Structure 1
């Protein structure tokens, strides 16, 4: 079944297959989320097995998220051009093949390269599912369909680190850490086969060509920033690392000017330039970058601290983070109980404040307990971090996208999601580099962890202030509520 007109897929797709198709899409989302979570838990074990410098640990996370960030900007457009079902299946098969390459990697370079390929194919796969949901479901069922993401993502975020720790410790069939990637093989193949059978084909009849120059410019700008941040420490911070970071700003500026000229000439830009004339959207991008940089960076450093600094096993490290995951569920549940509609931007700011309090409690606990700190002692701080995270993330996308015109919504959503992934790469680079630099300077693991916590609190404070650029509440008629 191929739909090329603006006709909605919900008009032609049998009702029973819409829900089957939704579960196929959810399976793909779970694969991506698990791969983003499990690598941090397994990273110390991977480094022991394959060798490599500390920057390899950072690249395991940053390589995937950076490739995802760049790819997401164009992933949705590929579906418009060549068909969403086709690109979903290609993305799922590519993601599965890259998972196999990760699982059989013989050295750090092969593993990192395979992670980058994973991220690129994930960026092809994920936007197709979200687009198909909008086409398959009528407006009255849309909320129920998207509502399925909350519990599925929550269960994955709670179970992912524990599953990763168990798989590494269980050493199934002698595979050790490799099983965290090999487990994607049956999941990915099942998603691809089910996608071929149950997903409807959809493409836009008036879709334009890809903005290849824009893709190259934004990819180069992101690489020029992240690469020296991660590799600079190992190389002794030579002058070219600072030149590269400065050049990234120039290339980002060139990218913005090119996109404006492309839009003015009537061509379809990679990112709609008019979005950046909206204070709420631009402020939201910067606030989101600060928030996700701190959140992902702290998660990576905390995992290294528990395993390398405290000597926890991968499973114990995964279980130690459980209070944060449960706290996230509680925070998200509180937001959905009516606080989001009532407080709007205020809820986002309350969330960052709660998260900062939790981080401060975590830092003080580590300072007082020293190397004898137990998972139970870490639990209160982590729980507050999780609750604040849930409260912050629940209203974030709705509020930032408030005021975006309908014709800008696709570009805005893709750009915002890409910024989330870029924040993950930047967090792995910045906070990871800070942590390893402090260790190299003979700081203890506990002291280095405390500094990282205070940097995270600073980023949360910045997020709190930048939130004042956002509207007080999301506009119901523009966000679909």
Structure 2
């Protein structure tokens, strides 16, 4: 599923100045647009590939389950924090220059990801990738407003829909194919190396085709605000990811409280800067618009739910059910396909006719799809096939497409035109923050459930396991010992900090008498799949709850989307 909508540039003065005068159309504007869309697709691919590639990465590099969270959180957190900063830097130093620097850096960071020899190096490279993506992406929409005359602006912005849809559909499929193909022994690394040809084409095209451009009024840079929001979010998210595997020591709660305090200090600092007429990272006066603030709340809650769900569904399909990366990607593909269908329906009919009611309808449809998935996973457990999952995945994707096709336009409906650039940038940053928080919180809950409910998963199949072991000649004492080892093996496997280490209890199971091996292995696999399925079902209930909260918050949104071009 797509990681983010395109982020409009964030300078209000620029928006007003550009709307006041119409400069001549840029001659190579359509070719330049293709370059900007190429950057969007490259960024989108890297935002989604980990939903499929993460198990292969951990299997190769080792580490705890939190590694899977960090290689996703690192990218989206850096993107969220630096998104508004990237737009400001383009206004100050030139959009083309920042676009090229971002594209070159993003491509090189992709090479670093592919060359990573440890999980720590990969996580650091993912942070770098996200930050450079935040430098590159905001320049595109500012350049579009600069290059295209008003009568063509809508068509130019409209090209983002198919591009994002293409990236959303291709991302998981490409990732699954590349991991399974293991081209030249590269394995998961090829999902990052594919950025080399794409990045090279974007860089060359940017140098040759993009025009120079800066904001008419050069904004000031808010270094203090950037440092405060970065520190606050880091203090908040780090313990959310690491707390589970450290058994939630006191310092995790201290850090989270400290993060909340720093974010409160950020708000106070920004308000003081506004009063003094100083540089601000965001215009907090926008939050006084209750309907816009409601839009931020809806975006944060909604994207928190769907980001965690998409990652965990990919993990469940591969680790829980044993699907190959390609099969997992194809199973999840209807989500992206129907998301595009929903967005097209919204743009063509639903948005203008029904407004906020269509957004509510999209949330209901998505909740229905998640409920279908939940019931299917809970009912079928180990015997689940791809085709059985498709209906729920498709319905959820359709609902999501309807919802996000309207969210930005409706959330910005009450914002003045001269504030729309800043408001859009903040909304997109909050969307990205929701992705980071969702992966941190939902994955932590999911992994915690895997460990805590493991004994119950073994107990559910204990009578069947005893019957099979008895038929294989196991004495009651052997059955008791093997069931105890199964419980401990499943618990330790779900909670272990190093994927390369085999727990002692699991080694004991592997050393049973040959005549008992088949029944023991079958019992372990059944309990393992049941454990993942139960954790997935409980997590999906949480997602439905977050969708219900989004539904309630959406009543505070404006009833109709904004009608101006270009937003």
Among 548, 556, 566, the alignment partner of 1:469 is 556
Q: Which runs of 5+ in 1 are unaligned?
A: none
Contact 1:61/1:425 (<8 A) preserved = yes
Q: Does the CA-based 8 Å contact 2:75-2:130 persist in structure 1? A: yes
Contact 1:10 1:135 in 2 (8 A): no
Tell me the equivalent position of 1:252. 263
Question: Are 2:177 and 2:326, in contact at CA under 8 Å, matched by a contact in 1?
Answer: yes
d(CA) in 2 for partners of 1:240, 1:234: 13
Larger Rg: 2
User: How many corresponding residue pairs?
Assistant: 476
Q: Describe the SS at the equivalent of 2:435.
A: helix
Q: Secondary structure at the match of 2:555?
A: helix
Q: How far apart are the structure 2 equivalents of 1:415 and 1:26?
A: 21
Deviation string for 1:243-298 (max 9, x for gaps)?
A: 21122222111111111111111123110121010011111111110100101100
Structure 1: which 4+ aligned runs deviate by more than 6 Å?
7-10
Contact kept, 8 Å, 2:24 with 2:149, in 1: the verdict is no
Give the alignment's Cα RMSD to 1 decimal.
Answer: 1.6
Greater Cα offset, 440-449 or 176-185: 440-449
Match of 1:92 in 2: 103
In terms of mean alpha carbon deviation, does 302-311 or 251-260 score higher? Answer: 251-260
Contact 1:99-1:184 within 8 A present in 2 as well: yes
Q: Deviations over 1:85-139 (max 9, x none)?
A: 0000000000001000000000000000000000000000000001101111111
Q: How does 1:265-414 map to 2 (within 5 A)?
A: 265-414=276-425
TM-score by length of 1: 0.96
**Structure 2 residue 304 is matched with structure 1 residue 217:** no
Q: Which residue of 2 aligns with 1:38?
A: 49
Distance 2:26 2:335 in 1: 40
Looking at structure 1, the residues matched to 380 and 18 of structure 2 have their Cα atoms a distance apart, in angstroms, of 62
Q: Decide whether the 8 Å contact of 1:400 with 1:470 is kept in 2.
A: yes
User: After the TM superposition, which residues 70-81 of structure 1 pair with which residues of structure 2 at under 5 Å, given as runs?
Assistant: 70-81=81-92
Separation in 1, partners of 2:349, 2:558: 18
Q: Deviations over 1:46-72 (max 9, x none)?
A: 000000100000011100000000010
**Hey, what does 1:28 align to over in structure 2?**
39
Contact 2:145–2:153 (CA<8 Å) still a contact in 1?
yes
Match of 2:536 in 1: 449
Which residue does the alignment assign to 1:173? 184
Aligned to 1:134: 145
Q: Which residue of 2 aligns with 1:438?
A: 449
Give 1:13 deviation, angstroms.
Answer: 5.0
Paired with 1:118 and 1:345, the residues of 2 have a C-alpha distance of: 35
Tell me which residue corresponds to 2:23: 11
Q: Could you say what secondary structure the match of 1:201 adopts?
A: coil
Q: What are the superposed Cα offsets for residues 183-211 of structure 1, whole Å, 9 maximum, x if unpaired?
A: 10111122111101100010124313210
Q: Which of 102, 125, 138 lines up with 1:114 in the alignment?
A: 125
